[in-house]
Chain A
Amino acid sequence: MSTGIVLQIAQTLLAILLAPLLMGWVNQCRAWLQGRSAPPLTQPYRMLRKLFHKDAVLAHDASRLFRFAPYIIFACMVLAAGIVPTIVNDLPFSPAADVIALVGIYALARVFLALAAMDIGTSFGTLGARREMLVSFLAEPALLMVFFTASLISQSTELPVIVQTLAHKEFAIYPSMAFAAVAFWMISVAENARIPVDNPTTHLELTMIHEAMILEYSARHLALIEWAVALKLFTYSALGIALFVPWGIAPRGDLGALPLALLALLVKMIVGGAALSLLEAISAKVRLFRAPEFLGTAFLLGVLGMLIHFLLEV
């Protein structure tokens, strides 16, 4: 049990520490693909350090909510990082929440971000919050459909059981999971404010969604939010790995498999980050009003995956 707790803490800390690195890797790949000279891999860490050393500036009209929101958002992401298995499966903390509760944790963070954005009362904040809600209320049911497909295969909504079924049982091709994988990719692109839906580097008022919400934040608050964004990307990647390429995640109590699991995680993250930046480089940002169509397609693929499961795999 105590090794379990140690491993749990180690895995969560690892996620927190590695998350900016994944962000840096994605940014680096993207710069290469765009023909720019890339920022160093450690750039996100430097930015976080710089922001933590600055003095925070708050608007006069900011309520307490505005000040607390970054801590809540960061805490939600840490919680998610504790639940999603990255290296070891079935740790002591993972029964705390199943996949449906996990969607709820992401929703909680999103609600506080949107509330904080509207709290200041600037038009940009309100605009960003509304757009974020438009995107997320379409993404959430699609995400649930993906999870249901995986749950139908493993007969459980607990992530450890899903990973256990998919990774350590006899290998089988699940056509339904192919649909779910495409849907999950589209959802994570939308949820993490990446290119076809939102551009993470833009500050153009007509197009920005996520950036519009955090315009008023500075110093340690901004640092926490940026870190939470990196963590969100990391946990979504870990979720994708756990659902669709779970081979390599160590089963519970098998300490010998740990180095291999760590190596597998690193390789998958490197490949996944490169793929993300490649897809971002070759696709154009869609109009905001095309975003519902994009997410509607994701929902459709999730539903199709479930239907296919009933037809082909029962």
Chain B
Amino acid sequence: MSLTYHLQVVNLLAALLLLISFAMLSQRRIVGLVTLFAWQGAALAVSTALVGWSTGQHHLYYSAALTLALKVIAMPWFFYRLVKKLDVGRDVEPMINIPTTMLIGIVLVIFAFNLALPISQMSGTVTRSTLGIAMATVLLAFLMMITRSKAIPQVIGFLAMENGLFFAATSATYGMPLVVEMGVALDVLVGVFVLGIFFFQIRETFDSLDLKHMEKLKER
């Protein structure tokens, strides 16, 4: 190992990110899911700031601060309130049982690692080896969106996917330009609020947040 210590810590945080993704896949309760999402944001913010510090890319500090403010504080707080208001904190059974989901998850991780290997060899950054983890996080979040039928876990899966993309950008090219990042952050924030309003509408129409009901949406 010839990496410096802070880069080793970045690697550790990347591994933690992947671990949290798997924890989210196996989580049955919505409140636990929100907490895990906040932890994922925290790991992401710390690793972004560390990469910024160790490579001298100071605009990454702003990204880290933005992540911390939005994904660790604002959105989890909003989700907690939403869960309380909608009264949906109970257990949710995913559509595929959890051990099977985990096994599919492992296959996805192997796929992502293999996919990232040639790409990361072309990249010139010191953090390129974490690109595979970033892609695995994206795919796992996608899997979570597929296997959950309730609205809030799907939105959290979408946000976790955004986390993975953000991490991929950091590890492959030291982050996107700040203007783009601000734009994405604003988009995500607005998206979450709009979806929050949608939740109430969906529940009012169907008496439940289960999106299975929307498949039967036909005029009679």
Interface residues of A (CB under 8 A from B): 170, 172-173, 175-176, 178-179, 182, 292-293, 296-297, 300-301, 303-304, 307-308, 310-313
Contacts and interface: CB of A to CB of B under 8 A. Distances in A.
B12 interface: yes
Interface in B16-48: 16, 18-19, 22, 26
Contacts of B106: 300, 303-304
A264 B57 CA distance: 42
Q: Give the top 3 A-B pairs by smallest Cβ distance, nearest first.
A: A175-B15, A173-B8, A172-B1
Contacts of A304: 18-19, 22, 106, 109
B26 A297 contact: yes
Contacts of B113: 307, 310-311
Given A172-B8, A175-B16, 20 more contacts: A170-B1, A173-B5, A173-B8, A175-B14, A175-B15, A176-B15, A178-B12, A178-B15, A292-B99, A293-B99, A300-B22, A300-B102, A300-B105, A304-B19, A304-B109, A307-B113, A308-B15, A311-B129, A312-B133, A313-B1
B9 interface: yes
B129 A175 contact: no
Interface of B: 1, 5, 8-9, 11-12, 14-16, 18-19, 22, 26, 98-99, 102-103, 105-106, 109-110, 113, 129-130, 132-133
Contacts of B14: 175, 312
A169 B98 CA distance: 40
A37 B12 CA distance: 41
A310 B98 CA distance: 26
B25 to A, nearest CB: 10
Contacts of B19: 179, 182, 301, 304
B130 A307 contact: no
Contacts of A312: 11, 14-15, 129-130, 133
A25 B134 CA distance: 43
A292 B19 CA distance: 19
Contacts of A307: 109-110, 113
Contact of B9 (A173, A179, A313): A173
B9 to A, nearest CB: 7
10 contacts: A172-B1, A175-B11, A176-B15, A292-B99, A296-B99, A300-B102, A300-B106, A301-B19, A304-B19, A308-B15
Contacts of A182: 19
A312 B11 CA distance: 7
B98 A293 contact: yes
A168 to B, nearest CB: 15
Residue with the highest number of chain B CB atoms closer than 10 Å, among A170, A176, A303, A307: A307
B12 A173 contact: yes
Contacts of A175: 11-12, 14-16
A290 to B, nearest CB: 10
Contacts of B18: 304, 308
Residue with the highest number of chain A CB atoms closer than 10 Å, among B12, B113, B129, B133: B12
B8 A311 contact: no
A293 B22 CA distance: 13
